[in-house]
Structure 1
Amino acid sequence: MRREIFRMERVEAEELLGRAEVVHVASTTAEGAPLLRAVHGVVVRGSIAFHGAPAGEKIEAVGRAAVVSCEQIVASIPSYFTDPARACPATTLYRSAQAHGVIERVDDPDHKAEVLEALMRKYQPEGGYAPLDARSPLYRKAIEGILVLAVPLERLDGKAKLAQNRAPEERARLLTKLWERGSPGDPEAIELLRGACPDTPVPDFLRAPAGCALACALGPRDVDAAVDLLEGAYWNQGVPREVIARAQLGSSAWVGARDAAGRLVATARAVSDGSKRAWMFDVMVAPPLRGLGVGEAVVRLLLAHPAVCGARHVHLGTQDAHTFYARFGFRHRADLPPPPFTSTEMVLARG
């Protein structure tokens, strides 16, 4: 790799390759003609594996060198983020992984079943099928007949081009520009950039009380910790953990705070149409950090989130935190000017 500052750790590259919806396999036929295919792949037993029909060009590549690659576009950076006139600064932030190896045919029935089961778990995670077993009468003939190929990850390179080559102050400005633009994926891009460049100064919108760091885009890895914080809340009494978890992942905006050890200590989320209305839910701070300004910082971050800040009305319900939310301008509905029409709130209760 020409620029070592962009190199990813092998474990990160393997994770990216295994998580990619589609991977690209490049090889040659027996005649030396180029062969390029997009496939669904999984990492099993130290190889990237995929399946196909037992006839066709893919089988001609068995025993031949191959390159398997995938990419993740993190953010497109327009030129005017940096320069008001010149087009040259336009760029793309991305992560990619590229594996080199020799295509092997997988013939062992148990190994084939393991690959096919991994594919099902990846692309049909909700289940709804009998687990694949090479000895099962449901699958024995199908597993015998299907082609499974694998490329051992003999050499695996990962590249994360996340502004590591820019000055820290320039990266901080870039984070602010991404936050202000607020395109889908920009909050997640901010978190990736901060992780790749920990020396980046904290931009104003992410400033937090001492000992904490704000996160503008929580994700699947934060679900368990968030549910641990929320499970005992009065509004979640009787709500199963999995329902609380799905609510976090289904939110338009999900922010939080971590302590110095990286533990999630605060969470807040919102559902929003981005224009007319947004609803805030599940605002929670770990008890030891209450009264230190963490909750206020998290709520301010949520209200400034690109998915929320454009909403004309932001709604919430609270039993005992009226004074806290009044600091941000929230008022009792009865204190607001009445709408120019009368209506009755209706609810479809499904559980």
Structure 2
Amino acid sequence: MRRKDFSIEEQQEIEEFLEEVSFGFLGIPSEDGWPRVVPLNFAYGNGVFYVHGSRVGEKMKLLQHDNRVSFSAAHEYALIPSYFTDADMACPASSFFKSVTVRGHAEIVTDLDEKAEALGIFMRKLQPEGGYDPITTDDPRYVPRLKGVALIKIVPQEWSAKFKFGQNARDEERQQLMTGLQQRGTPGDLVTLEMMEKYCPAHRSAQNPE
């Protein structure tokens, strides 16, 4: 999968991926013409990306000057060594991963209820086990903190995604990749095998003809 237009099912899959990963990279135009990339935690919900931080600083200053942004999140599932498929050449070395990139505009969120909802999304992602009082504007302990934190909403205008798990490999090569992952057998390799089965249905059918 590497496209800019997605079916409902594919969009849902992208959103599920964004719920799994918590770290991304925010690209902001800078005044000197050099792109500025900021690594940070993020949360996705309600069709937008949320990031937070201090109300003062370079990030906020740059966004006030130009609110056009890009944002990327990715997860590398497995490194693929060349010897899985070629005993001599280095060329086949690769990695299998999922990545999502959007371009859009950043908006500073001032509404306290939206801030509370967004930070609740953060907490459910970063601390799924709970152990805290829900963030609401009805709790007076949270209100000063909601007022003090800067919350940025990234509204996507263009999406692109790439899920790479050997979809374009020949059947023989794909089987070699799967054998190599099985033999290496790390937890990441086992998850990668599941992804290969999911994204290479033609190979699965070939392995299990009716």
1:10/1:156 contact within 8 Å kept: no
The one of 55, 69, 74 aligned to 1:71: 74
Distance in 1, matches of 2:176 and 2:205, equals 10
User: Structure 1 stretches of 5 or more lacking a match?
Assistant: 212-351
Aligned residue runs from structure 1 range 1-351, under 5 A:
9-60=10-61, 61-62=63-64, 63-201=66-204
| Larger strand proportion of the pair | 2
- TM-aligned CA deviation for residue 30 of structure 1: 4.2
2:115/2:151 contact within 8 Å kept: yes
Distance in 2, matches of 1:160 and 1:44, equals 21
| Identical-pair percentage | 34
Structure 1 stretches (4+) deviating beyond 4 angstroms? 201-204
What amino acid is the match of 1:58? K
Cα shift readout 1:278-313 (whole Å, capped 9, x = no counterpart) = xxxxxxxxxxxxxxxxxxxxxxxxxxxxxxxxxxxx
- Specify the SS of the correspondent of 1:111: helix
What amino acid is the match of 2:170? A
| Larger helix proportion of the pair | 2
Distance in 2, matches of 1:55 and 1:33, equals 21
TM-score between the two structures when normalised by the length of structure 2: 0.88
TM-score between the two structures when normalised by the length of structure 1: 0.54
Cα shift readout 1:33-75 (whole Å, capped 9, x = no counterpart) = 4221111111122110011010001212245211111111121
Distance in 2, matches of 1:80 and 1:33, equals 39
User: Structure 2 stretches of 5 or more lacking a match?
Assistant: none
2:197/2:204 contact within 8 Å kept: no
Distance in 2, matches of 1:176 and 1:51, equals 43
Distance in 1, matches of 2:34 and 2:140, equals 40
- Specify the SS of the correspondent of 2:183: helix
- TM-aligned CA deviation for residue 10 of structure 1: 2.5
- TM-aligned CA deviation for residue 201 of structure 1: 4.2
* CA-based RMSD: 2.4
Distance in 2, matches of 1:116 and 1:141, equals 14
The structure showing larger relative contact order (alpha-carbon pairs under 8 Å, at least 6 residues apart) is 2
Distance in 1, matches of 2:18 and 2:205, equals 31
